[in-house]
Amino acid sequence: MKYIIGIDQSTQGTKAVLFDGDGAVVYRADVPHRQIVNEKGWVSHDPEEIYRNVIRAVRKAVEESGISREQLAAVGISNQRETTVLWDDRGCPLNHAIVWQCNRAETVVERLKDSGDTVCERSGIPLSAYFPAAKMAWLMENVVSGLSGDTKLHFGTVDSWLLYRLTKNHLYKTDYSNASRTQLFNLQTLTWDSELCRLFGIPMEALPEVCDSNSCFGTTDFEGLLEKEIPILSMLGDSHGALFGQGCHESGMVKTTYGTGSSVMMNIGENFVRSQNGLATSLAWGIDGRVTYVLEGNINYTGAVITWLKEDVGLIASPGETEGLALQANSADTCILVPAFTGLSAPYWKGDAKAVLAGMSRTTGRAEIVRAALDSIAFQVTDVLKAMEQDSGCGLQELRTDGGPTKNKYLMQMQSDLADVKVSAAGQEELSAMGAAYLAGLTAGIYRRESLFSRMEYRTYAPEMPEEIREAKYAAWKKAVSMTF
């Protein structure tokens, strides 16, 4: 039997997931990496550590699964997206990677605010420090300016960095999904945009070649783990991988990935649509020479809110406690948390917003605050879904969900109630790796599309909340949001 390995390099760590010839998960290996946060709140990762962890995770998956190394047929890579890496032609990082959450490039955005409409029209993305263009500009001004003039620069998202290091001839490529999130890629010409590069001060020669998401990106032996190199046959941003893995291949289908942050993504087909309601337009993927567009809203703090409850305020010992506490909370309590710890992203785009805990009373205690934290995840996703309905002109029929927080039945029911839509929570956990592996397996001719996606299992939730209660809760949420500005 042939096996596909899906590498999911995410914000918190790296997963290497083995899939068999039927697309079933055989083994999963996880390796975490450091979250480097300084006194200014800047969030960084060590690119060298990330690369080494990819090798460690793949080695662990292959050796501990017991499969023969000769049975590995292909690799698919999914990656944390907007995190930005800078390296030289030897493959040496020139700085720590700037993580997507990091707001240090806000000064660049402020300087370019008069060009915001041009940026959005060309890239499909509202001007924000969230995206790599501003992060690259910050690196140009604060790191590159101190380097010798003959240093050859390579800017990229994590996929490009990994490909460069995994391939012995240092191939320098990215795919359409990742390129579309940089804010330097023109979504209508499907090329790097010279005007955007000029605005941000990024040399175009320092950007990778953009390829179809199911290209043969190169070959690797994972630093001698394999006797024979195998092809890397897909690269996708993690949210795009989850969209593909969820089977959202038709226009109008929507999924939400609940991770550290969340990506809410709607497939809108083969035509570019510019959002009028605070969303980004991106490319889902490019496959066999044809691209598919998506509307997307990104949220900074969803799963990270649960981490905050545990590690920063000590209200829980483990994420598993949140469901029970939420159900115990006083139903009459009106406490609302807006987790704008690093500003608000879609659909508000307020980088200077501050988090608030509003509506507290004497009944507000530990359980009520934990419930408010879970509710804040569902409220933020609902904000984005409402904007999608306005931009697309069609009502949502179903929301497919994935990620660790989807195990929380309280959260999923609240999501269904607040958004007034059927929620289908995927039983599988490795959707990003799955999407990348499935695309690689399809490209290799190992999988058949018609049977592959029928394997998905879902737990469904239907709206139960009366309309007047839903509207009152949402109005209170909007009022609390306004307090953060």
- Please tell me the total count of domains within the chain: 1
Read off the pLDDT of each residue in 227-233 and give the average, rounded to a whole number.
96
pTM for this structure? 0.90
Of the given ranges (151-165, 392-406, 432-446), which has the lowest mean pLDDT?
Answer: 392-406
Closest CA to 209 of 243, 152, 170: 170
Whether 253 is in a domain gets the answer no
Enclosing domain of residue 223: 3-238
pLDDT for 342 beyond 90 = no
Whether 473 is in a domain gets the answer no
Whether 159 is in a domain gets the answer yes
Which SS3 state, helix, strand or coil, does residue 424 take? strand
Contacts 24+ apart (CB under 8 A), 46-53: 46/93, 46/96, 46/97, 47/85, 47/87, 47/93, 47/96, 47/97, 47/158, 47/161, 48/93, 50/9, 50/14, 50/97, 50/158, 50/161, 50/162, 51/161, 51/162, 51/165, 53/13, 53/14
251: exposed, middle or buried (C-beta count within 10 Å: 0-12, 13-18, 19+)? Answer: middle
pLDDT for 460 beyond 90 = yes
Whether 289 is in a domain gets the answer no
Whether 43 is in a domain gets the answer yes
34-51 pLDDT tens trace: 999 999 989 999 999 999
Whether 273 is in a domain gets the answer no
Give me the pLDDT at residue 449, please.
86
Residue 135 Cα to chain centre, angstroms? 17
pLDDT for 300 beyond 90 = no
**Distances from the Cα of 214 to the Cαs of 7, 174, 222, 435, in angstroms?**
15, 11, 20, 11
Give the integer Cα–Cα distance in Å for 438 and 431: 10
Q: ∠ at Cα 96 (93, 97), nearest 5°?
A: 95
Read off the pLDDT of each residue in 433-441 and give the average, rounded to a whole number.
97
Give me the pLDDT at residue 345, please.
87
Whether the CB-CB separation of 134 and 115 falls below 8 Å is answered with: no
Furthest C-alpha separation in the chain: 66
183-196 pLDDT tens trace: 999 999 999 999 99
**Distances from the Cα of 111 to the Cαs of 138, 181, 279, 373, in angstroms?**
12, 20, 22, 34
85-134 pLDDT tens trace: 999 999 999 999 999 989 899 999 999 999 999 999 999 998 989 899 99
pLDDT for 351 beyond 90 = no
Q: ∠ at Cα 455 (283, 212), nearest 5°?
A: 25
Q: Are strands 185-186 and 154-157 parallel, antiparallel or unpaired?
A: unpaired
Give the integer Cα–Cα distance in Å for 300 and 348: 12
pLDDT for 455 beyond 80 = no
Tokens for 12?
């918190």
CATH number at residue 14: 3.30.420.40
Whether 385 is in a domain gets the answer no
Whether 51 is in a domain gets the answer yes
Q: Which residues contact residue 35 at a Cβ distance below 8 angstroms, ignoring those fewer than 6 apart? A: 12, 43, 45, 99
- End-to-end CA, the chain: 56
